[in-house]
């Protein structure tokens, strides 16, 4: 199987629509399609990565506080990583902390912040095959009307995308261990400690 790239994903989306492929995002032979793909792809990619905690797009970092504390509410502010798309967990799984995301920072009452997050994975060759297929379908849906002027085809591709997204989320989620529901200490205190 060929290694996935942004260009190959867009080319496959164009093929799904019965259109000519592109060689790169500046393809002079197919400039209109190349520009359309170059404009739409980063947004579609980031949106699809943000929609689900794909195993191939998760990172962990420990953040140090910014030099300037927030004016009020929280004691510290932490700048989010440049590739940040979505918070998954703040603090360790044993100790969750109160936090608030504002702009490109997280506010919290801690001196060191452990962050697990969805990152902008721009290396498509590291993606799961299901994610590559989904982003290809998402690009086909976004390109359908501009390329074919057919709203019926656009709706058809959007329906395929929705079905494929549900299936891919389920498969990706099966790779993760079962999660505990809430704080076990709180559950023991509320329902008794005999378990």
The string of pLDDT tens digits covering residues 21-79 is: 999 999 999 999 999 999 999 999 999 999 999 999 999 999 999 999 999 999 999 99
- Reduce the DSSP state of residue 168 to 3 states and report it: helix
Domain co-membership, 132 together with 42: yes
185 in a structural domain: no
Average pLDDT for 146-155: 94
Cβ-based neighbours of 20, under 8 Å, separated by 6 or more: 14, 30, 33
Instruction: Give the other-Cβ count within 10 Å of 108's Cβ.
Output: 24
Residue whose C-alpha is closest to residue 56's, from 139, 115, 119, 138: 119
> What does the pLDDT read at residue 178?
57
Question: Is residue 193 over pLDDT 70?
Answer: no
pTM, entire model: 0.82
The residue to which tokens 């721009």 are assigned: 122
Measured between alpha carbons, how far is 29 from 37 in angstroms, rounded to an integer?
A: 14
- Domain total for the chain? 2
> What does the pLDDT read at residue 187?
47
Domain co-membership, 44 together with 140: yes
Domain co-membership, 41 together with 61: no
Domain co-membership, 83 together with 97: yes
Question: Is residue 195 over pLDDT 50?
Answer: no
């Amino acid at each position: 199987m060929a290694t996935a790239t942004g260009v190959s994903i867009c080319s496959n989306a164009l093929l799904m629509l019965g259109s000519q492929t592109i060689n790169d995002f500046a393809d002079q032979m197919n400039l209109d399609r190349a520009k359309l793909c170059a404009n739409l792809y980063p947004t579609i990619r980031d949106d699809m990565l943000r929609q689900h905690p794909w195993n191939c797009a998760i990172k962990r970092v420990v953040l140090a506080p910014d030099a300037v504390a927030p004016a009020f509410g929280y004691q510290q502010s932490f700048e989010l990583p440049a590739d940040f798309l979505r918070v998954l967990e703040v603090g360790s799984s044993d100790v969750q902390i109160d936090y608030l995301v504002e702009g490109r920072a997280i506010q919290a009452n801690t001196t060191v912040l452990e962050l697990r997050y969805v990152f902008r994975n721009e290396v498509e060759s590291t993606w799961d095959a299901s994610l590559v297929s989904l982003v290809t379908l998402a690009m086909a849906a976004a390109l359908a009307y501009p390329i074919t002027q057919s709203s019926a085809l656009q709706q058809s591709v959007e329906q395929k995308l929705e079905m494929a997204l549900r299936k891919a989320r389920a498969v990706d989620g099966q790779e993760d261990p079962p999660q505990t529901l809430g704080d076990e200490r709180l559950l023991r205190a509320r329902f008794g400690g005999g378990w």
